[in-house]
Structure 1
Amino acid sequence: MIVDPAARRADGESVRIAKDVLCAGATVRLCLPDGPEEWAKALAKRGERRPVVVGDDRALLRVVSLLHRERDLAGSVLSMVPVGGAVSLARSLGVPTGAVAAARAVLDGAERRMDLLVDDSDGVVLGGLTIPPLRDGRGAARPASPPAHPWLSTCRSLVRGFTARPARAAAPDDAAPTRLRVEADGVTLADLDHPVAGVSVGPAARTGYARVEVHPALTAPGTAPPPSPLHADARTVTVTGADFRYRADAVVTGPVRRRTWAVRAGAWGLALPPRP
């Protein structure tokens, strides 16, 4: 039972409840790692015991990443008790979000093999990833030319003080289309000469494939609506562009100029409640 320090701080009561339920039904070894090295040591010393992650989505991602880098992921079956604010990934994977229900799933659940996205830098994606549009630069200030007469500057300042409205800050989601080449199994879905409003990659309905979705962007304000999103199922996805960032499992990475993701079918196992 590997308890994330953030989980203890966020909800110590849920951690205690999970520990009590697990100890009542199995022999439990409690690990309280405080840093990356201690996480790695806890996993290395687990022996035949099943790792139980008590924490949020980042804690689960940390354990999967460590086991993947040690090339020990295929032989491991993970369990999880979600504790903390960011547990949407765990929920989407089918993990119960209550401490009691999740702990019982650890004891009585069945292994379910899941696909994994692995990129060319050996990073892993459990759920999905998105590439949002680039941030718009409309908020940048332009340098002003000095006025011809000092008194003119004073007059302009007075006029602005009476007539100008407070400037509206750009909304956080103000963004401009970006130009990316998106390839799915070598087939080009979008190229650099056509801007896109966003790209998403997630699990497909069939095992061993990822679902790729490309949202074309408007080429100019006031034009016709953009075409419908482009879809494809693929084993490998390559995105190329100028310094783009992407969000994978709520972690933002980049900027990068090229990244390839490959699907590894059934690469990891998670103990979940039996399907109804």
Structure 2
Amino acid sequence: MYDVVLLTLGSERDAPGGCGSGGACCGGAAGVAGDKPGADPERCDTPRVPVLACAEALTARGARVETVTARSDAEIDEVLARLDGPPRPDGLTWPDPDSKTRLVVATASDAQLRAVLRRLVRRYAPPPSRRPADLAGNRTVPDLPPVGVLPLDPARSTGHRDLAAQLGLPRDPAGVAAAVLDGTPRRLDLLRNDGGSVTLDGALLGAADDTGRPLHWRGRVEVDDVVLSHGDEPLLACAVGNAGGYAALDDVTLLAGPDPTDGVVEVAVAVPVVSRSTFGRKRVRLEVRRARGRAVSVLPRDEKVPFVDDGVEGELSRKRSWWTEPGAWAVWAV
């Protein structure tokens, strides 16, 4: 018999990043500052229909179910502590690989799922000075505990495809319950960055004007030792892909084949190239340059570059690096 915690991210009414101070609500992304979850108190203070239906399906199968609404990082951490393993001789906090407690995250957006994974990384990543011998050489975190993903919009089929849809995970509460109790962990790559956060799907750097036309910006983009842009030419966009949510910009394919299980990050930049015809007419074509590797860095040459990372909006004003943690996190899948 399993203990299952159904975690919903609720409102932080008076905290930075909450609904009252610029954080997004249930239907949108988590707050930009610290990836803190935001929520609409009218919609999120009580368990919604998918959460109740999933709890009923789990209970019917004999699981002990608890529903928790976390309104702060500290409350998320209280839930994640239940996944801790026994004390280690080195004193590190480590996940229990044989835990009988399973976690389901009810998500209105990928940003909310990312907020939970960010706390998992903070909980279990050892400081560099205490790196244990049993940690894989290509990782800075151990295997994170698998999570079940319960989309709060099960019928979502248009617009941006969320990560659950990309991974082919069940969207109905009964299917999620079956995956959590009968499924197996599907291990996925995780992108960490030097800003202290994580990326599950991907990031898109760049902006558009009020009419939707992309704006030019400049920046040095480097993947391992391959330079996609030196920073002295205009860029329309830069996509950093773990999965495929940011693989295209309008009708332009940026990422050729992002795969969250291949151990590398795929990066692309879109560069407008001006040429002239035989008759001297100016033509502009879009050149897409791509590279794959272990890590990517973006150094903006302009003052601020807008970006969207797993649905969270922000502005990049200094160098940002992402690197791949192969197979670091996992979802329950059938």
Q: TM-score per shorter chain, which class?
A: 0.7 to 0.9
Higher RCO (C-alpha under 8 Å, 6+ residues apart) = 1
Q: Secondary structure at the match of 1:74?
A: coil
Alignment pair present for 1:13 and 2:55 = no
* Amino acid across the alignment from 1:9: R
- 1:269 is aligned to 2:305: no
Structure 1 SS opposite 2:43: helix
Q: Residue 140 of structure 1 aligns with which residue?
A: none
Is the alpha carbon distance of 1:75 and 1:184 closer, same or farther for their aligned partners in structure 2, counting shifts above 3 Å? closer
Deviation at 1:110, TM superposition (A): 1.2
After superposition, the CA RMSD in angstroms is 2.6
- Structure 1 237/257 Cα, relative in aligned 2: closer, same or farther at 3 Å? same
Residue segments in structure 1 that go unaligned for 5+ positions in a row: 137-169
Does 2:174 align with 1:100?
A: yes
- Which shifted more, 245-254 or 71-80? 71-80
2:22 aligns with none
Q: Percent identity?
A: 28
The residue type paired with residue 233 of structure 1 is R
Q: 1:128 — aligned with what?
A: 202
Are 1:89 and 1:249, in contact at CA under 8 Å, matched by a contact in 2?
Answer: no
Q: 1:78 and 2:147 equivalent?
A: yes
CA-CA distance at 1:253 after TM superposition: 2.2
* TM-score when normalising by structure 1: 0.77
Deviation of 1:199 (Å): 0.8
Contact 1:244 1:257 in 2 (8 A): no
Alpha-carbon distance in 1 for matches of 2:48, 2:123: 31
Alignment counterpart, residue 78 of structure 2, candidates 14, 37, 41: 41
Q: What corresponds to 2:317 in structure 1?
A: 256
SS of the residue 1:232 aligns to: strand
Secondary structure in structure 1 of the residue aligned to 2:67: coil
Per the TM alignment, residue 77 of structure 1 is displaced from its structure 2 partner at its CA by 1.3
For 2:201 and 2:83, the matched residues in 1 are separated by 26
**Any conservation in 1 of the 2:186–2:330 contact (CA below 8 Å)?**
yes
Match of 1:53 among 101, 105, 119: 105
Over 3 Å counting, the alpha-carbon distance change for 1:253 and 1:220 in structure 2 is farther
The equivalent residue for 2:288 is 229
Structure showing the higher helix proportion among its residues: 1
**1:68 Cα offset (Å):** 0.5
State the shift of 1:227 in Å: 4.8
More deviation, 239-248/23-32: 23-32
Equivalent position amino acid for 1:50 in 2? R
TM-score norm. by structure 2 comes to 0.65
Of 44-53 and 15-24, more deviation after overlay is shown by 44-53
Structure 1 residue 197, shift from structure 2 partner = 1.0
Distance across 2 between alignment mates of 1:45 and 1:116: 22
Structure 2: any 5+ residue segments left out of the alignment?
1-5, 11-25, 27-38, 85-98, 126-141, 243-257
Please give the alpha-carbon distance, in whole angstroms, between the structure 2 residues aligned to 1:92 and 1:266.
Answer: 17
Deviation sequence 1:155-191 (CA, Å, 0-9, x none): xxxxxxxxxxxxxxx42x2442111111010221112
Question: What letter matches 1:210 in structure 2?
Answer: V
Query: Contact 1:195/1:219 (CA < 8 Å) preserved in 2?
Result: no
Letter in 2 for 1:4: L
Provide the aligned length of Structure 1 versus Structure 2. Answer: 238
